[in-house]
Amino acid sequence: MPTGSRIVSFLPSATEMVCALGLADRLVGVTHECDYPESIRSKPIVVRSAVPVDKMSEAQIDKEVSERLRNGLSVYQVDEVLLQTLSPDLILTQDLCQVCAPSGNEIVQALNALSERPQILWLTPRTLADIADNIREIGKATGRCDDAEKLIQDGLTGKIDEIARTAAQCGSRPRVFCMEWLDPLYCSGHWVPEMVKIAGGVDEISRPGKESVRVEWSDVLKWAPEVLVIMPCGSHLDKILELAPKLQTFPGWRDVPAVRNGQVYAVDASSYFARPGPRVVQGTELLAHLIHPEKFSWSGPGNAYKQLV
């Protein structure tokens, strides 16, 4: 049988790519965070979080994760017995962010539990172009090169180019700040700043193609964003709405132009922004709608975002 007949995904975005290529039937194992499309929820879970994030505050999560990484401990647990039983011939993982999926030493340890070594595909995207390349790599590894190119042209780059052309016709580029964590405060990084630019905004606090980092709230106040997008990494909208009241305790909150103008939004970060997969297109469409509602409508799911003020 060809390589990629039995796929284990250690990354939610990789799971989405595999399914978008019509290979869901080849997925034999996923992570506890893989929740899209709905059909994969019944797949065996090979990877779980070693940190009980559901019972912790943002500050506690940040502290616990930082301490574990500093001490050389993993944030994830790989079920090595199950992995051996599933006997994958292709494992999809990444070496970009140790908080996003098992990487490095965890993969080596997991491989030691297998009698036959599978192919390992490392997906390390930092930009939208890198995401397209990852789709190509999965297509090549699974014998679906043509399908991968079609997905990229029709479902990724083509739609993004169309958004960029429409946004370029707008007369202004509002100041935007995308908040990837509330406590402590983090700016956006990697592909998200690029999405903002394509959607017709500008976020000078962000770090295009680089990791998101802690920033000072005073710097956000100086930037005076006209559109404020709340997108804590890995969180769906319902969780973000629970965290949102904390924003009102930030000094000078009511003086932020986005607050005064009623352009503060919580978005489903996990679905449309944090995962470098096919749905970044919908995330870019959503940003365009929030930044330039006069030019862009939103026909996606109603639970993709909520206006906070």
Tens-digit pLDDT profile for residues 175-201: 999 999 999 999 999 999 999 999 999
The pLDDT of residue 171: 86
Top-tier CATH class for 7-124: alpha beta
Average pLDDT value for the chain: 91
Closest CA to 201 of 192, 214, 210, 209: 192
Give the residue carrying structure tokens 């906070």: 308
Residue 300 contacts residue 282 (beta carbons within 8 Å): yes
Distant-in-sequence, close-in-space partners of 34: CB < 8 Å, separation ≥ 6 = 9, 12, 15, 40, 41, 43
Q: Which residue has the higher pLDDT, 4 or 249?
A: 249
Would you state the structure tokens that stand for residue 16, as one six-digit string? 């989405």
Q: What share of the chain is helix, strand, coil (3-state, %, to 5)?
A: 45, 15, 40
102: CB partners within 8 A, 6+ apart: 10, 47, 74, 76, 78, 93, 110
- Give pLDDT, residue 114: 78
Tens of pLDDT, residue by residue over 33-43, are: 999 999 999 99
Q: Give mean pLDDT, residues 23-29.
A: 97
- 109-142 per-residue burial string, b: 16 or more CB within 10 A, e: under 16: ebeeeeeeebeebebebbebebbbbbbebbbebb
Q: What is residue 99's predicted lDDT score, i.e. its pLDDT?
A: 46
Q: SS3 for 73?
A: coil
Please give the pLDDT value at position 102.
53
Residue 296 pLDDT class (50, 70, 90 cuts): very high
Tokens of 245: 């009241």
**Overall average pLDDT of the 156-180 stretch:** 96
* C-alpha to C-alpha distance for 269 and 116, rounded to whole angstroms: 37
Give the model's pLDDT for residue 77. 84
Per-residue confidence (pLDDT) for residue 223, from 0 to 100:
98
CA nearest neighbour of 43 among 10, 20, 74: 10
pLDDT of residue 54: 74
Task: Name residue 8's amino acid.
Answer: V
Give pLDDT tens digits for 103-139.
Answer: 555 666 777 777 788 998 999 899 999 999 999 999 9
Domain boundaries along the sequence of the chain: 7-124, 169-307
pLDDT at res. 1: 47
Q: E-strand spans in the chain?
A: 7-9, 27-31, 45-49, 76-78, 90-93, 119-122, 176-179, 189-190, 207-208, 227-230, 264-267, 305-307
DSSP β-bridge partners for residue 9? 92
Which among 232, 246, 224, 247 has a CA at the least distance from the CA of 192? 232
Ordered DSSP codes for 28-45? EEEETT---SGGGGGS-E
Q: What is the pLDDT of residue 98?
A: 47
What homologous superfamily does CATH list for 169-307?
Nitrogenase molybdenum iron protein domain (3.40.50.1980)
pLDDT at residue 31, as a whole number? 93
- Least confident among 104-108, 166-170, 266-270, 299-303: 104-108
Residue 24 has pLDDT above 60, yes or no: yes
